[in-house]
Amino acid sequence: MAFEPPHLSRRILRGDVLDFLADPGFLPPHEAPGVRFRPDHRVLIDQQRIQAVVPADQALPPDWAAVPEEDHRGRLILPGFIDTHVHCPQLDVIASFGTELLDWLNTYTFPAETRYADPAVSELGARRFLQALWSHGTTSAMVFATVHKVSADALFAHAAATHMRLITGKVLMDRHAPDGLRDDVAQAERDCIDQIQQWHGKDRQSFAVTIRFAPCSTPEQLVMAGALCAAYPGVYMQTHVAENRAEVAWVSELFPDARSYLDVYDRDGLIGERGVLAHGIWLDDNDLAVMREHGAQIAHSPSSNLFLGSGLFDWRRTEAAGVNVSLASDVGGGTSLCLLRNMADAYKIQAMQGQRLTAWKALYTATAGAAKHLGLADEIGLVEPGLFADLAVWDLAVSDVTQHRLGLASNLHEQVFAWMTLGDERNLVTTLVAGHTRFSRAS
Ligand SMILES: [Zn+2]
């Protein structure tokens, strides 16, 4: 029988720990609240959770003395990123040329999603996708599968087996989609209830009532979806809203009696504090008031908005209206699973509107902010005792240009902002999910 070393379930990571205790807002970097930087600290991990975070010059508890230290001095240790809107099957169509949203769906996305009816494709796709999230520094995600129940089952199964925090559900779409990619109200309802019973609350899995977007659901299906949200108050709701102007115009044709695109969802009780709506670029003041009233959030998807030419999301206006905002890759409309790249795009989108997004605000949004708005602050988002050890270790620089630039930085924000702007998944050293290494860069 193999010898098992003591403290196999314990690990110590040493490095510069950065997380956020409050929303830095749109304040200048030096005035922003909530930034917690702990240089040269040890993160003590026991099984799946963080046990303590202590300065490196402080003695370890005696029962930790034999635990080997993983030395990441000079590197950043951050909470794993939380991607609040991303499509598993769309890794197959990322970086597809030449279309806007509605065209892009019909030309590339719907044909690709049809293949996920095959359980083998769904299984392989789920594994590939979760591994891809981890290799981009993301440890939790709110994910669109496809209309096929098997595609969401595969994601749930693989996430549960790896103790990853995942929110997903089979996609509802019963019209305006090709053969092989539509459900019907009765079957969809049965599939959703099955998934709620099988997966919701199991390990770190949560079910989301997942509406593709208003044009792909009949009014009857939207009523059914609202009834599910009412019958199972712990479940999430995810969909798209007001991404592109042609889409907004189409929704007003399809639902002539709705006040607005958002109202199509609101009148069926779909907008609640567990609601995550991607994009929201073209919402009016009335819509924002409805979002605020219900505590729902916008999943801002910068690289997708730029790539599909959808529009410039006004983050500051949305937050000033009291609406929560999280950050998302929206792959495959988005061009990278790496939230660092999406933060750099978010900065540019705000700059186009005369606003300045600090690294503090961007990083908070992708960690503690997302955790808070998802109701998961007691589980993820900080490097804090009691929370899950969902962590990513990052090199500040892996290129000569970045190294040179960082050498000239005069304060921490300048350094971290340059890392955020110039860095990507190549800067990622290792990713832990529930204390277990799920990605490690080849040395
Ligand atoms: Zn999307």
Burial bucket for residue 368 (CB in 10 Å: 0-12, 13-18, 19+): buried
| C-alpha 275 to ligand 1 mean position (Å) | 14
Query: In this model, does residue 4 exceed pLDDT 50?
Result: no
| C-alpha 176 to ligand 1 mean position (Å) | 17
| C-alpha 204 to ligand 1 mean position (Å) | 23
| C-alpha 325 to ligand 1 mean position (Å) | 15
| C-alpha 303 to ligand 1 mean position (Å) | 11
- What DSSP character marks residue 106? I
| C-alpha 138 to ligand 1 mean position (Å) | 17
| C-alpha 41 to ligand 1 mean position (Å) | 38
Q: What is the mean pLDDT of residues 407-422?
A: 97
Q: What confidence score (pLDDT) does residue 443 get?
A: 55
| C-alpha 61 to ligand 1 mean position (Å) | 47
Q: Whole-number mean pLDDT of the chain?
A: 96
- Count CB neighbours of 261 within 10 A: 29
- Rounded to the nearest 10 degrees, the angle between the axes of helix 339-351 and helix 412-422 is 100
Residue pair 53/60 in contact (Cβ under 8 Å)? The answer is no
pLDDT, tens digit, 9 for 90 and up, residues 238-282: 999 999 999 999 999 999 999 999 999 999 999 999 999 999 999
pLDDT band of 8, cuts 50, 70, 90: low
| C-alpha 241 to ligand 1 mean position (Å) | 10
Burial bucket for residue 221 (CB in 10 Å: 0-12, 13-18, 19+): buried
| C-alpha 240 to ligand 1 mean position (Å) | 6
| C-alpha 301 to ligand 1 mean position (Å) | 8
Closest by CA to 80, choosing from 172, 33, 25, 13, is: 13
Q: What is the mean pLDDT of residues 118-123?
A: 98
CA angle centred on 405, ends 402 and 407, rounded to 5° = 110
| C-alpha 84 to ligand 1 mean position (Å) | 10
| C-alpha 30 to ligand 1 mean position (Å) | 34
Q: What percent of the chain has pLDDT over 70?
A: 98
DSSP state string for 2-30: PPPPTTTTEEEEEEEEEEESS--TTS-GG
| C-alpha 299 to ligand 1 mean position (Å) | 9
| C-alpha 406 to ligand 1 mean position (Å) | 35
| C-alpha 53 to ligand 1 mean position (Å) | 37
Query: In this model, does residue 48 exceed pLDDT 60?
Result: yes
Q: What is the mean pLDDT of residues 72-94?
A: 96
| C-alpha 238 to ligand 1 mean position (Å) | 10
Residue pair 387/381 in contact (Cβ under 8 Å)? The answer is yes
| C-alpha 86 to ligand 1 mean position (Å) | 6
| C-alpha 286 to ligand 1 mean position (Å) | 23
| C-alpha 278 to ligand 1 mean position (Å) | 6
| C-alpha 157 to ligand 1 mean position (Å) | 22
| C-alpha 391 to ligand 1 mean position (Å) | 25
Query: In this model, does residue 67 exceed pLDDT 80?
Result: yes
| C-alpha 143 to ligand 1 mean position (Å) | 9
Token output for 17: 């720990």
With 0.85 as the threshold, say if the pTM is over it: yes
| C-alpha 48 to ligand 1 mean position (Å) | 31
| C-alpha 101 to ligand 1 mean position (Å) | 10
Residue pair 290/323 in contact (Cβ under 8 Å)? The answer is no
- Count CB neighbours of 443 within 10 A: 4
pLDDT, tens digit, 9 for 90 and up, residues 303-361: 999 999 999 999 999 999 999 999 999 999 999 999 999 999 999 999 999 999 999 99
Pairing status of strand 81-87 against strand 391-394: unpaired
Q: What confidence score (pLDDT) does residue 98 get?
A: 85
Q: What confidence score (pLDDT) does residue 442 get?
A: 80
pLDDT band of 2, cuts 50, 70, 90: very low
Query: In this model, does residue 6 exceed pLDDT 60?
Result: no
| C-alpha 329 to ligand 1 mean position (Å) | 9
| Distance spanning both ends of the chain, measured CA to CA | 31
Q: What is the mean pLDDT of residues 175-182?
A: 96
| C-alpha 85 to ligand 1 mean position (Å) | 6
| C-alpha 213 to ligand 1 mean position (Å) | 9
- Rounded to the nearest 10 degrees, the angle between the axes of helix 400-407 and helix 412-422 is 160
pLDDT band of 1, cuts 50, 70, 90: very low
DSSP state string for 268-314: TT--STTEEEEE-TT--HHHHHHHHHHT-EEEE-HHHHHHTT-----
| C-alpha 38 to ligand 1 mean position (Å) | 36
